[in-house]
Amino acid sequence: MSIAISAVLRTPVGLRLLQACLGVAALLAAWPLATGAYALGWPAALISAAGGVLSLAALCSHGKPHTLDISPVGQFRLAEHDACGGVPASSAPPLRLLPGSTLWPALLVLRLSDDQGRIVTLVVQRALPATKAFRELAVACRAIAARGKGA
């Protein structure tokens, strides 16, 4: 059985929408805190506004999809899509699966490391349109972990 797979990882639309709603709600909560007679009125309003701005800024910065390629021998390559949609997968350094990874049926928390010792944590959750790709990715990660290639 070959474990070679290539999967495009995107943040689910529902999660992005929830993050946008929470950011707007934090911004809107700052107004009553600043105008009301609360004990921590202005400091709480500033913290709420800062949290809303940071949440919305984080939403804008994590919009690019990534491609995770797994070779038949169990090497991972993680490449970020550029503005034109192309992926330079060959220039991405090879990664290996670390022992602290979590492989649940609906969530994968992959701890990957390169040769220099840099650690990348990748969170992949099952989304409705790409359930088949998630299942193939989960099976490949479990096979690599069972073979001991990640350790």
Question: Using H for helix, E for strand and C for coil, what is the string for 95-148?
Answer: EEECCCCEECCCEEEEEEECCCCCEEEEEEECCCCCHHHHHHHHHHHHHHHHHC
Residue 151 has pLDDT above 50, yes or no: no
Question: Where residue 39 falls among pLDDT bands split at 50, 70, 90?
Answer: low
The mean per-residue pLDDT over the stretch 53-76 comes to: 83
Taking the model in full, what pTM does it have? 0.66
- The per-residue pLDDT of the chain, averaged, comes to 81
Burial class (CB in 10 A: 0-12, 13-18, 19+), 67: middle
Q: How far apart are CA 65 and CA 89, in angstroms?
A: 13
What is the pLDDT at residue 150? 46
Which has the minimum average pLDDT: 8-22, 68-82, 137-151?
A: 137-151
The length of the chain in residues reads: 151
Q: Are 67 and 7 in contact (CB under 8 A)?
A: yes
Q: Which residues lie below 8 Å from residue 83, measured CB to CB, with a gap of 6+?
A: none
Query: Around 12, how many Cα atoms within 13 Å sit in the side-chain half-sphere?
Result: 14
Q: How far apart are CA 76 and CA 6, in angstroms?
A: 10
Buried b (16+ CB within 10 A) or exposed e, 100-131: ebebeeeebebbbeeeeeeeeebebebbeebe
The mean per-residue pLDDT over the stretch 88-106 comes to: 81
